[in-house]
């Protein structure tokens, strides 16, 4: 992103735009940014966007058996 190479405001805006646009590669590079706001946007994507392994685990789980009424 072009904004990332500018001042503090622009870098924060670029990180927020990447969060909204789910640009995971861009945000992964910002996990160690010196600005705590940029880092927070990068960390937030870990919570908001489920990983492919989490999704596959959900699909492969077998449902719990239900108790019968008999």
Using the predicted structure, report yes or no on whether residue 68 has a pLDDT greater than 60: yes
Comparison of pLDDT for 15 and 54, the residue scoring more: 15
Comparison of pLDDT for 40 and 54, the residue scoring more: 40
Any idea which residue has 């910002």 for tokens?
A: 30
- Judged on CB neighbours under 10 Å (0-12, 13-18, 19+), 42 is buried
Comparing 3-7, 18-22, 61-65, the range with the smallest average pLDDT is: 61-65
Per the CB < 8 A criterion, the answer to whether 25 and 1 are in contact is no
Average pLDDT score over residue span 30-57: 77
Q: Distance between CA 53 and CA 44 in Å, rounded?
A: 18
């Amino acid at each position: 992103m072009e904004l990332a190479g500018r001042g503090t405001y622009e870098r924060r805006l670029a990180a927020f735009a990447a969060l909204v646009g789910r640009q995971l590669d861009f945000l992964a590079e910002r996990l160690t940014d010196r600005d705590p706001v940029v880092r927070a946007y990068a960390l937030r994507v870990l919570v908001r966007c489920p990983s492919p392994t989490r999704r596959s685990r959900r699909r492969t789980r077998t449902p719990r058996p239900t108790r019968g009424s008999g």
